[in-house]
Chains A and B, each alone.
Chain A
Amino acid sequence: MTTAAKNGVTAPKLIIEGLSKQYGAVTALEPIYLTVPTGEFLTLLGPSGSGKTTLLQMICGLAEPSSGRILIDGRDQTQTPVHQRDIGLVFQHYALFPHLTVAENIEFPLRMRALSATEIKQRVKNVLTMVQLDHLAARFPRELSGGQQQRVALARSFVYQPSIILMDEPLGALDKKLREHMQIEIKQLHRETGATIIYVTHDQEEALALSDRICLMNLARIEQLGSPHEIYARPATAFAADFIGISNIFRGQVDTSNGEARISTPHGKFRLPTGASLSGTEAAIVIRPEQISLGGDKENTVVGRVIDAVYAGSETRLIVDLDEGETVIVRLPPGHPAPAYGERAALGWNPDAAVLVP
């Protein structure tokens, strides 16, 4: 699945061992462990304050860890100063040097590495071609559009082929259309260069679209680590289910007394997916909107009133208020007849389509 696996290279590029960060009494990051194989596109995804930016800053050396080690290509780099760490970083607002032209901005890291003039020229030319900005080499950053500035920032961090490229919400300042376009370009750059990329975002759609693996973070911890499909299909926690994609979550008590595992919720007793097990009794089941069908299921059915039907082109989203006071979202395939506002509807799902989470 990962680029690394495809290339047959499996050596870990980055190993993080027990890295943590305290700001006084505030814990910005609990000790975490993470291994990133060479060539992987890993996304740090999470809400504000989840610790993803702190982690990013410690990897590139802009913040100092309170404990733990950072190994890049097997070498301990925890104490290496920023400028010797050989890491690329694309800043949220690009941080292009306003007094330098596009070409000079891109040359900067090469000059710092004292490359020969011909080598610098060649590399700048290549990378400018790669991001399709050859014609703008002599411009100043302020003369460029947001998307062009973004490309310069990308070129500047790719040109010196750093061991890892970090990106801190690089598309945050762009509008939706441009953002989607740049996502494709970043993905292409990743494929062409084989670079190891760690990408920070709070946008779950972006994470799903780009990543080999997603590292979902919450409350200064790693919530779940896995491929986009794994996290979507088998969320490890209610938070993961809620943060990635749309989820219907029913909380309740697990009851295994009658030989068959069931969960009793305010909306009724539901059968659990086969093989699901849990240590405690407090739990929740997660059902994705596309797994719910109108008309009910013979075992798991809830009843409510339709309060809205949102037409979104490729699908219709049905919003149903349950009688016990919770909202369920149902995704109907195109062309499927949708009940009208105020109508009552029975909703059901196959027990094996649900996921049990703590």
Chain B
Amino acid sequence: MTAITAPAVPLRQRLLRPNALWLAAPGIAFLAVFFLYPVLRLLALSVQDPASGALSVATYARIANTDVYLQVLGITFKIAGNTALFSVLLGYPLAYWLAELKAGLRERMVLLVMVPFWTSYLVKTFAWMVVLGRTGVINSMLTGSGLASEPLPLAYNEFGVMVGMVHAMVPLAVLTMLPVMIGIDRRLIQAAQVLGAAPAQSFWLVYFKLSLPGVTAGGLLVFISSLGFFIVPALLGGRRETMLAQLIITQVQELLNWAFAGALAAMMLVAALVTCWVYDRLFGLSSLSGDTSAQGGGTGRLRLLGLVILRAVAKASAVLSDAARRVIGVRGARRLLPIYCTLALVYLVLPTLLVIPIGFTSSQFLEFPPPGYSLQWFETYFSSPVWLSATLRSFGVAAATAICATLIGGLAALALARSDTRWGGLIFATFLAPLIVPRIIIAVGLFYLFAQIGLVATDLGLVIGHTVLALPFTFVTITAILKNYDWRLDQAAAVLGANRLRTLLLITVPLVKGGLVAAFLFAFITSFDELTIAIFISGGIKTTLPKQMWDDMILQLNPTLAAVSVVVFVIVTVLLLVAERFRRTT
């Protein structure tokens, strides 16, 4: 009863008094101008006649009448769908295994998923190009050992794209499913077994059922992220794996066809929103944040059908696992999961690690294993004015982005934590939206806006764009920290004579410092290896490190790229580990 409740204030005072909610104003204004407006403007462009500005559906008619575009649309959905499916399938056992570990060990093992999650897409894709290429790691091992007479076509086709996409997305699927699985009460499984369920049955009928919100949320996030992907299909795919985002880039960069780019972006956005809407109808968006409290499991017939299917699956797998146990023995069966998870982690981590020795190669080519070691490619990197200026620009932009995003996101998180407004859900969704809307759409929208106000090819433009993308990360990180914060300490400070500002600076900030540092570093990493916005905004000589890598990777693979990848990988990994350390100690 002595819980300290927020004061209810008469309306007159409520309107006049400085409300904590105002702290969210800078962030909302920022997102309105640099996120909502550009995206909506881009969509509006798609239904405008470029010449007269009149309402027109000509661009959509052109898409509908051109086979190529419909094909690309189909390919995009297929690749995104398959990526979501495989990421969840491969990620589920890994997430299950991690959830079962003791908390301390789990925190360390999760880093093996966090590192590939935050590793630059460019570095990961570069690694796969080195591994899967005609003269790549796998092919040279196969032909060298005589297992294959000629190199297998592993890259520049659908297989290469799927390997790269799934590799890029499994961490996201695992990290989405994991909190839900950790939240499942283990005693329920024990209860099911005491009541007579075989292990396989208790898994399917209880554990799997309870983990479904995580599974669907993971699938949704992977699908939406994959819709806007272009790095992997552009570098690991052939012509037949061209995705929507690549088409948009071509339309904007080469043809300057804004209406058409807008229409393509609109289709991608609609696809993303429809997926979200269907998901919300079926499962509720709240389960995205790992909130399983509102689990009803759907209604009536759908729910019953689900249960029937689950029962059948449970029965079948109980029989299967019995058989398996008889063939490989109980101990063998028990080792299956750890063995699988080890392989999965190797798949996630190893390709990137292979790049490291290649960065130190003495050869002029990307060979593996390197014939000898030298620092020549690092010398090339560090003596190249182009690479150096790109690196420095990336550092500067990332630092500025991190400061802006931490400040704006932190204030918004504080606003939400300190006011029990009914707009809370909407504000939360607004700050998460840049994570849901495909980056390519934000990038093209910002490009159009910046072209009008002269921010293209400026560092300021880059910082603004990257801040939009980094805000969800800082906002979520700081919100999570503030959730566990004991606000009575602020009340104590006030009673002892500290005003709001001093309370914030002397009590609140020091106590959530770790979370702030973590948020800062996450924002830094987000900006440091951001490519999509950089492709459009950093023109000419004002290029960033990822943009420079991208340009080189499209033209010609060379060992300098390996050296650069090593540097980027090390920087990001170190920052990530530091960020995780700070986040956990708060």
Give A residues with C-beta under 8 Å from B: 22-24, 48-49, 53, 57, 60-64, 66, 81-89, 91-93, 95-99, 108-109, 112-113, 156-157, 160, 168-169, 172, 200, 202
Bound: A99/B512 CA distance, A: 10
A24 and B8 contact, Cβ closer than 8 Å, known pairs A92-B2, A97-B492: yes
A82 and B9 contacting across the interface, CB-CB below 8 Å: no
B5 adjacent to A64 (CB under 8 Å): no
Interface segment among B209-217, B434-442, B497-505, B552-560: the answer is B497-505
Partner of B488, one of A88, A91, A109, A169: A91
Q: Does B11 have its Cβ within 8 Å of any Cβ on chain A?
A: no
Residues B495 and A83 in contact, CB atoms below 8 Å apart: yes
Q: Say which residue of B9, B491, B497 sits within 8 Å of A95 (CB atoms).
A: B491
B496 surroundings in chain A (CB, below 8 A): 83, 108-109, 112, 156-157, 160
Residues from chain B with Cβ under 8 Å of A113 in the complex = 497
**Which B1-41 residues sit within 8 Å CB-CB of chain A?**
1-2, 4-5, 7-10, 13
Given contacts A48-B1, A53-B1, A157-B496, 20 further A-B contacts (CB under 8 A): A23-B8, A24-B8, A60-B495, A61-B494, A63-B5, A83-B496, A83-B497, A83-B503, A85-B495, A89-B491, A91-B491, A95-B489, A97-B511, A99-B511, A108-B498, A109-B496, A112-B496, A112-B497, A112-B502, A160-B496
- A124 to chain B: closest CB distance in Å? 14
Q: Pick the 9 closest A-B CB pairs, nearest first.
A: A112-B497, A48-B1, A95-B492, A109-B496, A82-B494, A89-B495, A95-B488, A63-B7, A53-B2
Complex: A156 Cα to B511 Cα, angstroms: 19
- Judged by a CB distance under 8 angstroms, whether B424 is at the interface is no
Contacts of B503 in A (CB 8 A): 83
Q: Mark B462-502, 1 if CB is under 8 A from A, else 0.
A: 00000000000000000000000010110111111111001
Q: Which residues of chain A are near B310, meaning CB under 8 Å?
A: none
Point out the residue from A64, A87, A157, A202 that lies within 8 Å of B7, measured CB to CB.
A64
In the assembled complex, which residues on chain B have CB atoms less than 8 Å from the CB atom of A98? 489, 511
Kindly state whether residue B252 has any CB partner on chain A within 8 Å: no
Closest partner residue, chain A, to B1 (CB atom) = A48
Q: Is B153 interfacial (CB-CB < 8 Å)? A: no
Known A53-B1, A93-B488: A88·B8 in contact at CB below 8 Å: no
The reply to whether the CB of B510 lies closer than 8 angstroms to some CB of chain A is yes
A64 adjacent to B9 (CB under 8 Å): yes
A99 touches which of B494, B499, B510 (Cβ 8 Å): B510
**Residues of B participating in the A interface, judged by any CB pair closer than 8 Å:** 1-2, 4-5, 7-10, 13, 486, 488-489, 491-499, 502-503, 506-507, 510-511
- Give the Cβ gap from A171 to chain B, nearest Cβ, in Å: 12
Q: How far is the CA of A66 from the CA of B492 in the complex (A)?
A: 23
- 8 A-B residue pairs with Cβ-Cβ distance under 8 Å, sorted by A, are A49-B1, A53-B1, A83-B499, A84-B497, A86-B497, A97-B493, A109-B497, A160-B497
B10 neighbours in A (Cβ, 8 Å): 66
Nearest CB on A from B486, distance (A): 7
Measured CB to CB, the closest approach of chain A to B109, in angstroms, equals 28
> Which chain A positions have C-beta within 8 A of B5?
23, 63
Asked if B498 and A87 sit within 8 Å, CB to CB, the answer is no
Q: Which residues of B contact A85 (CB under 8 A)?
A: 495
Indicate if the CB atoms of B507 and A97 lie closer than 8 Å: yes
> Is the CB–CB distance between A168 and B2 below 8 Å?
yes
Partner of B8, one of A22, A57, A83, A200: A22
Which single residue of chain B is at the shortest CB-CB distance from A156?
B496
Rounded to whole angstroms, the CA-CA distance of A96 and B491 in the bound complex is 11
For residue B93, give the distance in angstroms from its CB to the closest CB of chain A: 39
Which residues of B are found within 8 Å of A23, using beta-carbon distances? 5, 8
Complexed CA–CA distance, A313 and B290 (Å): 56
Chain B residues whose C-beta falls within 8 Å of the C-beta of A97 in the assembled complex? 489, 492-493, 507, 511
Residue of B nearest to A87 (CB): B495
Task: Assess whether A112 is in contact with B2, with CB atoms less than 8 Å apart.
Answer: no
A109 to B511, CA, bound (A): 18
Bound Cα distance from A108 to B502, whole angstroms = 11
> In the complex, which residues of chain B have a beta carbon less than 8 angstroms from the beta carbon of A156?
496
Bound CA span A138–B494, Å: 23
Q: Is B488 touching A112 in the complex (CB atoms < 8 A)?
A: no
Nearest CB of A to B74, in Å:
55
CB distance from B18 to the nearest CB of A (A): 11
A168 nearest in chain B by CB position: B2
A86 to B510 CA separation, bound complex (whole angstroms) = 25
A133 to B10, CA, bound (A): 44
CA distance A62 to B492 in the complex (A): 10
Q: Which residues of B contact A22 (CB under 8 A)?
A: 8
Minimum distance in angstroms from A101 CB to a CB of chain B: 13
Selected from A48, A63, A83, A157, the residue in CB contact (under 8 A) with B498 is A83
**B493 — which chain A residues lie within 8 A by C-beta?**
83, 97, 108
The answer to whether A62 and B1 have CB atoms under 8 Å apart is: no
Q: List, in ascending order, chain B residues with CB within 8 A of A112's CB.
A: 496-498, 502
- Tell me the complex Cα distance, A108–B9, Å: 29
Q: Which residues of B contact A91 (CB under 8 A)?
A: 488, 491-492
Q: Which residues of A contact B489 (CB under 8 A)?
A: 95, 97-98
The docked-state distance in angstroms from the alpha carbon of A92 to that of B493 is 15
**B6: nearest chain-A partner, CB-CB:** A63
